[in-house]
Amino acid sequence: MTSPANTHLAAIPILMYHNIAPAPRDLAVYRSLYVSPGAFGRQMWLLHRLGYIGLSVTAAEPYLRGEKSGRVAVITLDDGYADNLQSAMPVLQKWGFSATCYVVSGQIGRYNSWDDQRLGIRKQLMTTEQLRAWRDGGMEIGAHTRTHPRLTQCTEPQLHGEIRGCKEELEDRIGSEVTQFCYPYGDENERVVEVTREAGFRTATTTHRGRAVAGDDLWRLPRMQIARHHLLPQFAMKVFSGYEDRRR
């Protein structure tokens, strides 16, 4: 069993972002899903300044399995918004970082159909060409289902279609293997996790709070949401201290 001291040293923050863009003025709800390009740039600078390397999930796998150690932070972005390519990738490349963008395969080149009515706004998702540009820029594409449903509410055929079908669609579109998965809304149970494993994904991320440690269930990895209202000191507290760990 890992001792408390070793757990602290081995803590791996997995950061969760959505939009890297200014929040629209007329957006009444979920403004927290936006992080401005300036704020994102400062956060990545701080990681670099403190000796951390920003990694995609695949690049971080040896750390998550306990095969390597070091100051690493895993950077993930949910849904596949076009602003990830436009605003996040140049910052990531500046510091030699990589990141994983989890893509909703049935909406490539379209918009956020799963919550556009609730938000009152349609947000542009990356096209196939933009996804390839993201990959060719040193970043990773992960799977986020075909239509962004609550997976625990899916029938067995729906569940397999959403998870395995997403993997197949993305691999066909981008011509690369897709091995990382993210549960929409963090919604999972034993049945969902088992289908995810069987589909061939090597890890899956949730919305459970806390930093990951070597030996965690690779198909139930915790993450910490980085939101619009998090100033740099708050970002530092979440990422570098045990603040989020106490909420696991």
> Can you read off the two tokens belonging to residue 178?
């897709």
Give Cα separations from 28 to 33, 165, 177 (angstroms).
12, 34, 38
Residues in the chain, total: 248
* pTM beyond 0.85, yes or no: yes
| Rounded Cα gap, residues 58 and 80, in angstroms | 17
* pLDDT at 2 (0 to 100): 39
Taking residues 56-62, what's their average pLDDT? 98
Give Cα separations from 34 to 23, 40, 215, 224 (angstroms).
6, 10, 32, 14
Confidence of residue 29 (pLDDT cuts 50, 70, 90): confident
Hey, which bits of the chain come out as E strands? Answer: 14-17, 19-20, 34-35, 53-55, 72-79, 100-103, 140-143, 180-182, 203-205, 224-225
Whether residue 32 is predicted with pLDDT greater than 90 in this model: the reply is no
Confidence of residue 5 (pLDDT cuts 50, 70, 90): very low
Per-residue pLDDT tens digits for 146-157:
999 999 999 999
Domains of the chain: 4-247 (3.20.20.370)
User: What is the per-residue burial (b if ≥16 Cβ within 10 Å, else e) of 202-228?
Assistant: bbbbbbbbbbbbbebebbbbbbbbbbb
pLDDT above 90 covers a percentage of the chain that reads 88
* pLDDT at 246 (0 to 100): 85
H-type helices in 2-127, by residue range? 4-10, 37-49, 57-64, 82-83, 89-94, 116-119
Strand 72-79 relative to strand 203-205, pairing: unpaired
Give Cα separations from 23 to 27, 109, 110, 144, 184 (angstroms).
7, 21, 19, 23, 21
Per-residue pLDDT tens digits for 87-143:
999 999 999 999 999 999 999 999 999 999 998 899 999 999 999 999 999 999 999
* pLDDT at 248 (0 to 100): 73
Whether residue 17 is predicted with pLDDT greater than 50 in this model: the reply is yes
